Amino acid sequence: MRSILVLNGPNLNLLGTRQPEIYGTTTLADVEDMCAAHAEKIGVAVTCAQSNHEGALVDHIHAARGVHDAIILNAGAYTHTSIALMDAISSTEATVVELHLSNIHARETFRHTSYISPVSVGLICGFGANGYILAMDAVLHHLES
């Protein structure tokens, strides 16, 4: 059975509690429940993790080695700053999909730069919490093809 790690970065633990006009009203616990339900439906294993700390996210990516086939990564603001995350992704065997709830390209210019995109198989953004489901389907299709 394929295994997917859904990894969320800084401030995403606040999901559903503030700025609903940008990030929606779905909480991180709701997102994780949605991923678990969808994983059962499509026949994959899913593990969810979140950290506000850059190094901890790097550790999660390293620990995926030999455990997870794919990582769905919403690196939050580290997307726009983190060479450390880019290097960790470059060194992993797992297939990485970059994910954002909001359409980062329709927002401030500083959000248009991503250190994650060049080392990811693809990017899903702008579809809110449903993006996690789209990413699971997309990465499974990618792994199987």
Which residue in 132, 36, 139 sits closest to 96, CA to CA? 139
Q: What is the per-residue binding string for ligand CA2 in 47-86, x denoting contact by CB under 6 A?
A: ---------------------------x-xx-x-------
Which residue in 98, 81, 114, 107 sits closest to 21, CA to CA? 107
Tell me which of 4, 6, 7, 15 binds ligand CA2, using CB under 6 A. 15
Q: Which residues pair with 5 in a beta bridge?
A: 47, 71
Let me know if 100 is a catalytic residue.
yes
Show the DSSP H helices in 43-82 as ranges. Answer: 54-63
Minimum CB separation from ligand CA2 for residue 13, in Å? 8
- Residue 71 host element (H or E): strand 70-74
Is residue 12 a contact residue for ligand CA2 (CB under 6 A)? Answer: yes
Q: Confirm if 98 and 114 have CB atoms less than 8 A apart.
A: yes
Residue among 47 and 78 whose Cβ is closer to ligand CA2: 78
Let me know if 78 is a catalytic residue.
no
Catalytic residue, chosen from 60, 100, 115, 132, is 100
Tell me which of 46, 73, 85, 104 binds ligand CA2, using CB under 6 A. 104
Minimum CB separation from ligand CA2 for residue 143, in Å? 23
Distance between alpha carbon 24 and the CA centroid of its chain, in Å? 16
| Residues acting as catalytic residues | 23, 100
